[in-house]
Structure 1
Amino acid sequence: MAGVLVCVEQVGGKIAAITRELLGKGRALADALGGPLAAAVVGSEAGDLANQAVALGADTVYVVTDAALATYTTDGYVAAAKAIAAQAQPALVLAGASFQMRDFGAALAADLNAGLAADATDITVAGGQISAVRPSHGGNVINTLTFAAGRPAVVLARKQSFPEATEQAGRSGSIQNVAMPATSVRTKVVSVAPKSGAVNLADASVIVSGGRGLGNKDNYFKLIPPLAAALGAAYGASRAVVDDGWVPYEHQVGQTGKTVSPKLYVACGISGAIQHLAGMRTSRSIVAINKDPDAPIFRVATYGLVGDVNEVLPLLTEQLKARLGR
C-alpha cells in the first residue's frame, strides 16, 4: 500500500471545493508516503471530472460509471470505491466530512478493514505513519489519531481546512475505467423531492446566526434575514432558538445541527454554548455581538462587539446596505 486516493465530489459538473482542498493536501501527503496521488470518480457519468482531477494534481484517476450510480446509495458507491481501492491500493483514502460522505466513509472503512477519522482539520505523515487531527468537546480538546501501520486509513476532512489545489493546464495523467462490480445494489432510489425552502448552510461562505439574545421570534425575523441579505449570506440559529420554534431545524448550527466553516460567521445574541461552538469555531473569521462581555462566544471570536443586538443590528444592516449597495 502506498499513496493517497481522493474521493471526488462534484457540483454542477465541476469538482467541489472540498475535493480541490483534498487534492492539494493529498499531493503533499502522497509525496511524504512515497506514492502516487489518485482520484476516484463514481457516478452514472463522469463528464469532464477525470480531466479536472488530473489538472488539479492527480497522477491517476479511476472512473466507475454505471446507471445504478445515478443517485447516491451506500451499497452502490461503496462497492464502486472498493473496486477502485483494490486497484489503487492506497495507504490513505480522503473524502470530505459532508453528511453523505460520513455515511460513505464509515461503510468503506468497514469494508476495507481500515482505520477511520472524521471531522479532521489536519492530516500528517511522519516516519510513514499517518495521523489525523480532529477537535472534540466544542473544540476545547484537540485529538491526534495515529493509524496502525499496514492497514489503510480513511479520513474525512472538514471544509476549508486546507488550501485548494492550483489547476495546472496541460498537465498529463492516467485515466483508468474500472468495471462496476457484479453485485446487487440492494437500495434503489425511486425519486428525490427537494424540500421547499431548504437551506444549505454547509456550503455558505457567509452565515449570520441568531440566538435567544434576540428576545423573540419576531425580533429574529426582523433583524437576522435583513442582515444576512445585506451580506449576501445564509442565516442560521442556535439550538435554543430552534427548540423554541422560531426557525426550522435546517437552520440550526452546532453539534446537533450543521457543522459549518464559512469565511465569515456572524453570531448575534448567541452566548456560545459548547455545542454551538463545536459547529462553527473553525470558521475563518467570527464576529460576535452580545451584551454580555463574559459570553463564551467572545473566546473564539475574531472580532467582538459588546452591545444589545436589538440596537446594534438595525444600524449595522443600514450601514452595510449603504456600503455594499444591497
Structure 2
Amino acid sequence: MILIVVEYANGKVSKSTWEMITAARESGREAPLTALVLGSNISAIAAEVARAVDQVLVADLPALAQYDPELWSAAVAQIAAEGEANLVLIGGSRSGREYSPRVAIKLDAPLLEDVITLKSSAETNTAQRYTFLARVTETIESTTPIAVVTIKPGVFNPATPKAEAAEQFDVDLNLPTPRLKVTGKTAERSSRISLSEAEIVVSGGRGVGSAEGFTQYVEALADQLGAAVGATRAIVDAGWRPYSEQVGQTGKTVQPKTYIAIGISGAVQHLSGMNKSKTIVAINRDPEAPIFKIADYGIIGDVTQLVPAILTELKK
C-alpha cells in the first residue's frame, strides 16, 4: 500500500494532503492509497479525506491531541510496518520535515526529501528535487522495499475528491511515553488567507521602495483582490515582512491561479517558489528583469505610478 499521513488545520484537511494524494496517484505504483489520520476528535477530517483514497486508518486518541514528533513517528512507522507499505508519503511542512527522518530510521528505509516528482515501481522509487539553491534538479533513486518520501508543498496539483467515500478503520497504536509537554501556544493572527491556500498571491520585492511602500502597494492590492501576501527573501531579511510570507527556495512554494509580482526582479531562488503558478503577472521598471522571462503578462514601469492606477480601476 501507499501510506499518506494526513495533514490538517482548523478542522479541515490541508492542501498539502490533497497534493500528496495526487503525487501518489501519479507515481505509477499499483497499490491501494491509504490515508492515516492522527489526532483527537478527528472524525470530520477522516470523513473529508475518505473521498479521495481507498481506505482511511484513524487513530483518534487523547495522547495525539498535540503534535509530538516522537509519537507521530512511532505511529506512522508502526502502521507502515504492519500494513507492509511500499511508500510512506509525508508533507514537506515544518512538522513533516521534523518527524519524517525518525520514521525512516525506524523502518530502516531511505528518505527522499522535498521531492517535486515521484515515480514508483516494484523495483525502484525515482524522484527529483531541487538543490544548489534551485539551480540544479537532482534525481534520486531507492531500490528498497519501502521508502519514506516528503512532498514539497505547492508542486503537485491538489487531488479532486470522489463522490463515494472509502471505508474507515480504527487502529490500535503502541505509543511510547511522551517526553515532551506543550505548555502553551501562540498563534499568529491574520485576517488574510494563507499563502498555501490562496488562489491569488500578490508579492513584493525591493522595487516597492520601503516597508511603507510594501503596505501602500502590495497589501493594498492584495486587500482589493482578496489575495494572500508574499515577499522575497530580501524583503524579509530587511525586516519589512515576516518570514511566514517569504516565497522561494528558503520560504514557501506556492502554485496559485494568479501570482502578481510587484517590484520583483526574479532571482532564481524566488522563481523556484512560484514558477508553477497558473498565470504570472510582473510589474517592474527594468525591462531586462528575469521575472519577465516566465511572466504571462509583463508591465514595464514605475510601481509607484502603476499600482495606484490599477487600484483606482479596481475600485470602480
Q: Which residue of 2 aligns with 1:21?
A: 19
In structure 2, relative to structure 1, the CA distance for the partners of 1:236 and 1:189 (3 Å cut) is: same
- Tell me, in whole angstroms, the C-alpha distance in 2 between the residues paired with 1:232 and 1:177: 40
Q: Which residue of 1 aligns with 2:198?
A: 204
SS, match of residue 202 in structure 1:
coil
The alignment status of 1:179 with 2:177, answered yes or no, reads: no
The percentage of aligned residue pairs carrying the same residue is: 37
How many residues matched?
A: 315
Q: Which residue of 2 aligns with 1:8?
A: 6
Q: Which residue of 1 aligns with 2:210?
A: 216
Match of 1:292 among 286, 290, 296: 286
- Tell me, in whole angstroms, the C-alpha distance in 2 between the residues paired with 1:14 and 1:220: 31
| Letter aligned with residue 11 of structure 2 | G
Match of 2:38 among 17, 39, 42: 42
- Tell me, in whole angstroms, the C-alpha distance in 2 between the residues paired with 1:281 and 1:176: 40
Q: Is the 8 A contact 1:24 1:166 kept in 2?
A: no
- Tell me, in whole angstroms, the C-alpha distance in 2 between the residues paired with 1:299 and 1:245: 28
Structure 1 stretches lacking a partner, 5+ long = none
Query: What's the CA shift for 1:163?
Result: 4.4
1:188-212 residue CA offsets vs partner (Å, 9 max, x unmatched):
1122121345974333332211111
Query: What's the CA shift for 1:69?
Result: 1.0
- Tell me, in whole angstroms, the C-alpha distance in 1 between the residues paired with 2:30 and 2:244: 43
- Tell me, in whole angstroms, the C-alpha distance in 1 between the residues paired with 2:212 and 2:99: 40
- Tell me, in whole angstroms, the C-alpha distance in 2 between the residues paired with 1:253 and 1:187: 31
The aligned runs of 1:237-256 (5 Å cut-off) are 237-256=231-250
Query: What's the CA shift for 1:126?
Result: 4.7
SS, match of residue 71 in structure 1:
coil
| Letter aligned with residue 35 of structure 1 | A
SS, match of residue 261 in structure 1:
coil
Q: Is the 8 A contact 2:104 2:110 kept in 1?
A: yes
In structure 2, relative to structure 1, the CA distance for the partners of 1:27 and 1:168 (3 Å cut) is: farther
Match of 2:99 among 89, 94, 104: 104
- Tell me, in whole angstroms, the C-alpha distance in 2 between the residues paired with 1:86 and 1:65: 19
TM-score where L is the length of structure 1: 0.87
| Letter aligned with residue 11 of structure 1 | A
SS, match of residue 208 in structure 1:
strand
Match of 1:80 among 52, 63, 75: 75
SS, match of residue 280 in structure 1:
coil
Q: Is the 8 A contact 1:210 1:220 kept in 2?
A: yes
Range moving further from structure 2, 49-58 or 82-91 = 49-58
Q: Is the 8 A contact 1:97 1:159 kept in 2?
A: no
Query: What's the CA shift for 1:128?
Result: 3.7
SS, match of residue 90 in structure 2:
strand
The alignment status of 1:68 with 2:66, answered yes or no, reads: no
Higher helix share: 1
- Tell me, in whole angstroms, the C-alpha distance in 2 between the residues paired with 1:192 and 1:95: 24
